């Protein structure tokens, strides 16, 4: 062991070994891994080792595909046998909704380039897995590249390949303390103190404690997970092939062959947390006592699906802990305020996702950002609210119990809610508001007409469809009131504020009393934000964006902070409402004697609105005459009441974000995580029209100019009109042109004013001309579509600009 390394990776499981390997592979060989016991002495040794392609997040699915490709590479490079069994895999559907979902998921895989899968009938599924009963099965999806590996061998393969590239593995050496130093970190271990530039928390079951060593409270918790291994099954002995990795979604089980028996794993509804503050340091190769009574219902379903289990005994029970995050995805990336402290935690499916996690984190450390859009596993998707132990227990338990339970796009899950509420929440609830959650905050979805209205979960248009239509109609024809507490607000001030904003934003800065849309770029020229900058004219600027990106954006601001500039997150202290519609100005004129009618489009100023002194901007995401009114949190309730009273004779109606999503689609306005992501460039998304090409240096300028002056992007965002019936595209559906896949939907829905099913899509440039006939799979059914001109509603923007 040396006294200094460039990187110290803490944790000798599959994730830590993968991070070590990728760092060495990408050129950082002065790296070491420190393990308190021996490699695999945590969750890795008792993992079931299954590998499969299916994941609800397409970006995570793509990283899983990378991991599967990598396995044979590390086996060859290390010389370590990983016992890879590529048996193929089946995912089964036993309800009509699940079968529709599986057909839709199959098309999603096509969108992201996973081509080696196909839909199968129950009869075909039975032939592929002869020991399985097909009773109740409506269909399935087969994937060629699924199977299982030897978990211990795989960890040693990652570590062995890393060592061949110069990395070091240090076992039997527990990390005791971490201390920040001017040039990195001091890692105090049982065998001495190491200094390093970077430290990686890949501690698995001990991630909580290693986070606390650096003053970080990570939203992770271990839960126990059962599987059994059967005695020899005669039916398997008679086969000349291995049965496939099989997931029975309705049965809450997964199965793979294990020698001449099978391994049956269970995600039970009645979940069980274990050591929520992290595993004991001496824990390693122990297991918890099996508890068949707690998993009885799921066991019965598993024994019914695989009848041969009823005739043989159980050879081995495994009940061991794995670490989960609130949404089940990993926690990866840098932590704001902790320079060069990196997370690689909560990788529940480590042997499936570990390769992608290691690759992405190594790229992030070395190059400044990962190649793929990894927001779905970015540690910054959570904020301080997620440190609460009850929140962690409720949400991780909910994820575990719903691992194989179908979640619908319009379904709101209850765990950890309500957590944060805007001040007018109670009054809005009394008015019928139905809520969703964003970064712990309750945000309005729509207003139900009766107290007993219940929205039914569905893959298609819901029974709230007509409610949303009425809200859209009110905005288009009269005036709508929307709670915009769910926007982020950052205050920027100080002598260096203007210079810092000019450097970090790719657009021109707005003049005093004006607002401007502002793309923010990474050094590679890819997007880091679609933000709005406000210049209040007194030396103070605001940046507004998506509430759920608060920590993500604040980390970027912190990492690129300038001199003599103060940045404050106002998002919970300052809230507000949006008025949108032809009568919105009339409402405000009733409440102020200020010259609000003189406020130009994209103008901003302070006004007295009723009793309240507010910051007002003339801006509208709905595509109508509109105003965003910002007030102190303590004024939120009263401001709402005044606005509703002033608009009572003008047709005012409260609405939610479901209606806003419809309204913005009719204007072809993109949103983050759909049309705009950190995986796209300004040229692909149309955000290049906001770039100030003639201004001085800004982050990402050289890369953006290279895109502008090159051949142009191969794909671009377009608007589609789809001949859909009873269902609309939502995202990642494949788009076809004459039988060739030419892109995918980024977001979609129903345009209630235009009365058309609309979508925005990332399309190959040669298929993007207006009028091009295409087709799109909507909930698994191919529908005709056409590229249409942007902004099918009010294309000249007359209503919005006045």
What pLDDT, in 10s, does the model give residues 404-427? 999 899 999 999 999 999 999 999
pLDDT in the model for residue 437: 97
Alpha-carbon span 627 to 427, nearest angstrom = 22
**Dihedral sign of CA atoms 288, 293, 298, 302 in order:** positive
Residue 753: enclosing H or E segment and its boundaries?
none
**Across residues 170-185, what is the average pLDDT?**
97
What pTM, to 2 d.p., does this model score? 0.96
The β-bridge partners of 614 are 607
Q: What is the mean pLDDT of the chain?
A: 96
**Dihedral sign of CA atoms 71, 73, 74, 78 in order:** positive
Secondary structure class of 6 (helix, strand, coil)? strand
Statement: residue 554 has pLDDT above 90: yes
Half-sphere exposure of 52 (CA within 13 A, CB side): 21
* Pair 543, 520: CB distance under 8 Å: no
What is the percent of the chain with per-residue pLDDT over 90, rounded to a whole number? 96
**pLDDT one-digit tens code per residue, 371-389:** 999 999 999 999 999 999 9
What pairing do the DSSP bridges indicate for beta strands 756-764 and 773-778? unpaired
pLDDT in the model for residue 201: 98
**Across residues 520-544, what is the average pLDDT?**
97
DSSP 337-400: TEEEEEEEE--TTHHHHHHHHHHHHHHHHHHSS-SS--GGGBGGGS-GGGG-HHHHHHHHHHHH
* Pair 15, 358: CB distance under 8 Å: yes
Buried b (16+ CB within 10 A) or exposed e, 728-765: bbbbbbbbbbeeeebbbbbbbbbbbbeebbbbbbbbeb
- Residue 696 binned pLDDT confidence (cut-offs 50, 70, 90): confident
Q: Which of 400, 448, 441 is nearest to 423 (CA)?
A: 441
Neighbours of 234 (CB within 10 A): 10
**Across residues 225-237, what is the average pLDDT?**
97
pLDDT in the model for residue 420: 98
State how far Cα 636 lies from the chain centre.
30
- Residue 116 binned pLDDT confidence (cut-offs 50, 70, 90): confident
Alpha-carbon span 300 to 268, nearest angstrom = 12
Alpha-carbon span 331 to 802, nearest angstrom = 46
pLDDT in the model for residue 115: 79
pLDDT in the model for residue 54: 67
- Residue 56 binned pLDDT confidence (cut-offs 50, 70, 90): low
**pLDDT one-digit tens code per residue, 460-481:** 999 999 999 999 999 999 999 9
Q: Which of 355, 335, 354, 334 is nearest to 346 (CA)?
A: 354
What would the 3-class secondary structure string for 415-445 be? Answer: CCCCCECCCCHHHHHHCCEEEEEECCEEEEE
Statement: residue 753 has pLDDT above 80: yes
Alpha-carbon span 322 to 299, nearest angstrom = 20
């030396």: which residue's tokens? 539
């Amino acid at each position: 062991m040396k006294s200094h390394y460039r990187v110290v990776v803490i944790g000798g499981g599959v994730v830590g070994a993968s991070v070590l390997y990728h760092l060495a592979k990408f050129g950082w060989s002065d790296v070491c891994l420190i393990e308190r016991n021996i490699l695999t002495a945590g969750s890795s040794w008792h993992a079931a080792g299954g590998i499969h392609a299916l994941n609800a997040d397409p970006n995570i699915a793509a990283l899983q595909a990378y991991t599967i490709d990598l396995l044979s590479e590390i086996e060859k490079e290390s010389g370590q046998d990983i016992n890879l069994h590529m048996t193929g895999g089946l995912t089964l559907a036993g309800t009509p909704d699940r079968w529709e979902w599986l057909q839709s998921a199959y098309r999603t895989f096509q969108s992201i380039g996973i081509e080696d899968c196909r839909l199968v009938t129950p009869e075909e599924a039975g032939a592929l897995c002869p020991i399985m009963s097909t009773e109740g099965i409506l269909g399935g999806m087969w994937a060629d590249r699924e199977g299982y590996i030897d978990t211990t061998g795989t960890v040693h393969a990652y570590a062995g390949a890393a060592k061949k590239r110069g990395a070091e593995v240090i076992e039997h050496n527990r990390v005791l303390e971490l201390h920040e130093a001017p040039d990195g970190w001091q890692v105090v271990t049982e065998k001495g103190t190491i200094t390093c530039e970077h430290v990686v928390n890949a501690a698995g079951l001990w991630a909580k404690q290693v986070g606390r060593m650096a003053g970080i409270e990570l939203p992770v918790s271990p839960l126990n997970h059962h599987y059994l291994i059967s005695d020899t099954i005669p039916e398997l002995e008679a086969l000349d092939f291995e049965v496939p990795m099989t997931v029975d979604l309705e049965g809450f089980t997964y199965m793979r062959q294990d020698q001449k028996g099978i391994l049956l794993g269970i995600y039970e509804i009645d979940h069980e947390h274990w050591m929520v503050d992290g595993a004991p340091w001496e824990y390693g190769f122990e297991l918890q006592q099996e508890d068949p009574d707690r998993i009885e219902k799921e066991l019965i379903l598993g024994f019914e699906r695989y009848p041969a289990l009823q005739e043989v005994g159980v050879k081995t029970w495994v009940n061991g802990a794995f670490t989960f995050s609130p949404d089940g995805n990993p926690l990866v990336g840098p932590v704001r305020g902790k320079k060069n402290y990196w997370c690689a935690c909560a990788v529940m499916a480590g042997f499936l996702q570990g390769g992608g996690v290691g690759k992405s984190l190594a790229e992030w450390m070395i190059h400044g950002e990962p190649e793929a859009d990894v927001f779905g596993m970015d540690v910054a998707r959570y904020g301080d609210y997620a440190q609460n132990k009850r929140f962690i227990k409720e949400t991780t338990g909910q994820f575990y119990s719903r691992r194989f339970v179908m979640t619908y796009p319009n379904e709101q899950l209850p765990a950890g809610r309500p957590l944060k509420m805007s001040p007018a929440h109670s009054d809005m609830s009394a008015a019928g508001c139905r809520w969703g959650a964003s970064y712990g905050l309750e945000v309005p979805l729509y207003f139900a007409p009766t107290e007993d209205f219940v929205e039914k979960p569905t893959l298609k248009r819901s029974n709230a469809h007509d409610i949303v239509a009425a809200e859209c109609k009110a905005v288009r024809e009269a005036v709508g009131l929307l709670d915009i507490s769910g926007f982020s607000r950052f205050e920027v001030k100080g002598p260096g504020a203007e210079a810092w904003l000019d450097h970090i934003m790719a657009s021109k800065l707005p003049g005093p009393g004006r607002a401007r849309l502002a793309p923010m770029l990474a050094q590679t020229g890819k997007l880091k934000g679609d933000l709005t900058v406000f210049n209040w004219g007194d030396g103070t600027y605001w940046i507004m964006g998506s509430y759920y990106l608060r920590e993500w954006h604040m980390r970027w601001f912190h990492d690129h902070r300038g001199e003599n500039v103060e940045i404050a997150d106002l998002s919970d202290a300052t809230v507000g409402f949006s008025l949108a519609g032809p009568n919105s100005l009339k409402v405000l004129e009733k409440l102020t004697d200020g010259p609000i009618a003189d406020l130009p489009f994209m103008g901003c100023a302070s006004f007295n609105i009723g009793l309240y002194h507010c910051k007002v901007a003339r801006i509208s995401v709905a595509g109508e005459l509109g105003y965003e009114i910002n007030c102190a949190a303590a004024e939120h309730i009263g401001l709402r009441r005044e606005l509703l009273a002033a608009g009572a004779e003008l047709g005012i109606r409260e609405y939610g974000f479901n209606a806003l999503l419809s309204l913005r689609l009719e204007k072809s306005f993109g949103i983050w995580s759909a049309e705009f992501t950190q995986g796209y460039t300004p040229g692909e998304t149309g955000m290049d029209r906001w770039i100030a090409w003639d201004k001085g240096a800004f982050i990402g300028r050289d890369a953006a100019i290279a895109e502008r002056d090159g051949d142009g992007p191969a794909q671009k965002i377009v608007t589609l009109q789809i001949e859909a019936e009873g269902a609309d595209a939502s995202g990642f559906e494949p788009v076809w042109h004459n039988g060739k896949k030419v892109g995918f939907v980024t977001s979609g829905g129903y345009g209630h004013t235009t009365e058309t099913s609309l979508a925005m899509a990332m399309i190959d440039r040669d298929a993007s001309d207006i009028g091009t006939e295409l087709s799109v799979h909507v909930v698994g059914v191919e529908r005709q579509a056409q590229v249409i001109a942007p902004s099918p509603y009010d294309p000249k923007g007359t209503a919005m600009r006045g």
